[in-house]
A = this chain, B = another copy of it.
């Protein structure tokens, strides 16, 4: 497994994770985070708008998702296009080498109400990205929105399973299985 080489944005997130764990979210400043990462406060604000944002990777996930949905085969159903996007996450944000970092980040967010709020808003933004990308493929608006909601639910299920230390499956595989399960469940609603 290749060693993960963090860039400035990841270094800031790692530093923030350490500091939030050591002294708590409230007692950590942006300057503390930048200093721990060996960077400056202005570098921090080039990457993130505020302290809450440091664990939410500067919007790159939305572009990745939209690009992958656009690049799915023309014959793909809406949920197959979503599966294509979740597969792309399994090679980038949720690549095997990032698993320990992501699981740690997840635990810190779960423990902090402000970070949970930011994560909830980010989730809505990701659903919007999926909906818009599906609409651009010609999917009817409401169908696009429903597929995006189901995709987000499958994403959440796969993410929880992937972060479980007892699992070593690829995120893409977990996401594909969760999507099938979610789709099957719609027929019992």
> What is A's interface to B at a CB cutoff of 8 Å?
77-79, 113, 116-118, 120-121, 123-124, 140, 142-143, 145-147, 149-150, 152-153, 157, 181-183, 185-186, 188-189
Contact = CB atoms under 8 A, between A and B. Distances in A.
Nearest to A178: B142
A145 B181 CA distance: 12
Chain A at the B interface: SS class: helix
A78 B189 contact: yes
Contact of A189 (B124, B157, B183): B183
B120 A189 contact: no
B140 A149 contact: no
A77 B186 CA distance: 12
A185 B147 CA distance: 9
Given A121-B117, A124-B120, A188-B78, A146 B153 contact: yes
The 3 lowest CB-CB distance pairs between A and B, nearest first, are: A120-B120, A117-B117, A120-B121
A121 B52 CA distance: 15
A140 B188 CA distance: 9
22 contacts: A113-B121, A116-B121, A117-B117, A117-B120, A120-B120, A120-B121, A120-B123, A140-B185, A142-B157, A142-B181, A142-B182, A143-B188, A145-B153, A146-B150, A146-B153, A149-B149, A149-B150, A149-B153, A150-B186, A150-B189, A183-B189, A186-B186
